[in-house]
A and B are shown apart, each in its own frame.
Chain A
C-alpha cells in the first residue's frame, strides 16, 4: 500500500521547465532509498498554478512545493520523504505564511475554486486508466448503457441544464435530443478540441490531465443519440494532448470500454483522432466537419442543423472538451448536486485560462456567478509590479474588453454578454496601464484578417479595412472620421457575415470604443499614446538623472544623441528611430519614453 503520493505536474508549463526529469529523478531516488514500497511518484496533468512551476504536491498532507529544480530533488527525498521534515525554502510562498504551513487546498488560489471539469487534473496519472477507474471513472457510462434508456440519458442532461462551454452556451441536452429524434442509418459524435482561441488552454489541460473523462462522455453521448463513431478533432500544436489521447483510446479499447458490445450490451462505439492544421475557423462546427472530410475548413451555409445533417450529411453532435468533461460527474453525483453549483441559468462551473498581467497566471475553475474581481484579485493575486488594472479581455477575438467599473459583475453567460463581451471558451487576459487599448483592438483585427476563410466579402474585405484604419490610428495618422468608419464597418460586418468569426470580429473594436474612447481620441487628436505602447507616437527623452556616461550615445545606431562626458545628454528626436537601445543601456535609468 502506498501511503504517500508525490504528484509532479506534467502539464505543458511545468514540462517545459523539466517537470518530467524531476519526476524521473524523484522516482529513482525513492527507489534507491528503498522507499518505493510506500511512496508513489506520479506525473499528473496541470495543477493550474503554471506561473510557479515546476510544481510538486505531496499527499496526504498536501504539501505544495513550487519552483522546484533538479538540484532540489535530493533534499526533498532525504528531508521530507525520509525524515518527515518539510523543506520550507521550497514551499509555495502563499502556503507558508508567518511560520504556518498551509496545505494546498487552503491557499487562496484554490480556496475559491470548485473543481468539476478539472476534478481529476493534477490528481491522477492520465496515462493510466486504472487511476481514472479508481475514482469511479466509466461508472457513468456503465450506468447509462445498462440501466437507462436513451431518452432517460437525454432527460438527465437536459434537467442538469448544462450549457456548452465552447462559446455560445447552448443547452447540451437540447442539442442531443435533436439528434436523437432524427432517424438516420448513421450518426456521429465530435469532440471539438481545436481551441484556436489565442490565450486559452483549458481544453488542452483537460485532454492532457484527464483524457478518459472526455472519452467516457463521448460514449455516453453516442449511446444517447444512437451513434457508433466519434471523432476528436484536436490541434496538431498540442502534441502532449494528442499522445495522451492516443494512449487513453488504446487503453479503453483494451478494457472493452470502447469498441464492440460495451458492458456486454449491443452498444458499439469507437473513437478516432483527427488533427487540425492551424486554422482558427476550423473550430466553428461546420468548418470543422469540412476539415474532417478532408477539405478546406470553410463554414457551410446552414440550411440544416448539424444535429440533422452534419458530418458526411449525417446527424452529428459537436461539443466542446470542457462540456464533455462535465458529463460523467453529473451522472455520478446527480443533477441536484450539479445545479447547486453556479447560478440558476448557468449552473456548474467554468474553467478560465487566466493570463496576461496578473500574478498567478494559470488555470482556474470557478462556480458561475463569482465576480471578475474575485478571479483577478483574489485567485489571480492582482496585478504585478504595482501597476494599475486597466481591462480584462474575455472571449478572445469574439469577445470584448471590460473596464474596471464592471469588475464586480457576476461571471455568467448573460452578464458578460450585457457588457458587450462573451464567456467564449474561457480565455481571460488581464491588461494593465501599460497596454494600449487601440493597439489591442488592432491586434485582434490582425488575427481576424489572417484567419478569415475568405468566403464572404464583409468578413474578408471589411476586417481588412478595419485593420488598416486601426493601423493608421496607432501610427498617429488617424482622424476623427476614421473612428466613424470603424463604427459603421463594425455594424455591417456583424450583420452580413456567414459564420461566428465574421459576426463577432468587430467586438474587440466595439467594446474598446465604448469603454476607452478617450484613448482613441488621444491618438487621433493629440497624436499621443497614453499608455506608451504605440512606437510611432513615442518620444525618447533623457531626464536630469543622466550622469553623462556617454553609453547611450555610443550605442545609438543612428548617432542622434549628443552631450559631453559627465553632462546631461540630449536626443535629437527628428533623427531618432525609436529603437529603444538608449533606454536599455542606460545605467542610470535616465532615459524615458513619453
Chain B
C-alpha cells in the first residue's frame, strides 16, 4: 500500500506530515523573519505558482512510493507537472489538514522553532503588506484612464462654455435681459430648453425648475418688459438643439466627476484626500501617470501645468511661475498673492509625499498629510500676514477663480 503524505502550507513555508500528523520535513522560506518575503511566498501560493524552492524541497524529501495530498487544485497541477514521478491528490479540508490547522501553534514551533507570538506578528504584517500590494495591483494602469477622464472633463467644460456663449447670443435676440440676470450656464440652458419663449415663462414654472424665489421674480419681471424680438416655434427649436446638448453636457460632466472621484479612490487615495479628485487627476495627467508624478521633485510638481510660463522665464528671463495647476486649489487661490508662492511650495511638498505613497506603498495617510499642511499654512499666514512693503499699495483685488461656468464640489 502506498503511504500518504500531506503537504501543509504555512506562511513560513511547507511542512510534510504523515497520516498520524508527524512532521517528516519542513522548509522555512525566510530565516531572517522578513515579512516581505513571507508576503511574496503567500502571493505565489495564491496564484498557484509553487515556488522553485518548494519544488526542490519536495523533490529532495519525497521518494516515489508516496501519494502527496494537497488542498489546492492549481498547486496540485503545478507539482505534478514539475515532479512527474510524484502522485498528487487534491483533498481540501482533509482530516489531517484540519488537524494541522488546529495545531498551528505546535506545528510552527516544532517545524520552524519560532514562538507563536512571533509567528502571528509576522503573518499579520505579511498579510497587510500583501493585501496592500494586491489592492495596488488592481488599481495599476487605471491612472491613465483617470488621466484621460480628467482631460475629457476639460473638453466638456470648454464645450459647455462654447455652447453657452452661442445660446446666450442666439436666444438673446429674443430675451436680451436674461443674459445678465442668469449667470449660471446650466440655469440658462434650462430656461431655453424647458420653457422656451419669453411668454411661456412664469413664476410657477421657474420654481418647478428649481429657481430661487427672488431670481425667479427678476426673470419674470424682465420677461414681461423685454425689448427683444419675437420668436417663432420654428426658430426656437433650432436654438433648443444646442441648449439641450448643453444640458446633456452638464449631466456628462457630473458623471465624469463621479467616475473620477471613485476611480481616484483606488488609484491615488492620498492625492485625492489631499487635494480632491479632480485636481489630483489633473496632476497625474500632466505628469503622464502616477509613477511619473511620484518620481518628480516637489519643485516640479509645484509648477506642473505652467510649462509655458516656465519656458518664458528660462528663455526671456521673465519671473518664473510660482505655481501651476495647483493654483486651482483654494488653499492657494483664496490666499493673498504674496503668500501664494510659499503655500504652493508647502502643498507641492505634501503632494510629492502623497504621490509616492500612492505609487509605491498604498497605505492611507492623507488625513495626516493634510493636517501637517494646514498647520504649515497657518504658520505662513501668521508669519506673512502683511504684504511686503513695496507691493503694499498696489495689491490688486483678489482674483476670483472662474474656470468653466459655475464650479461646485471640488473645494476642500
* B is a partner of A: no
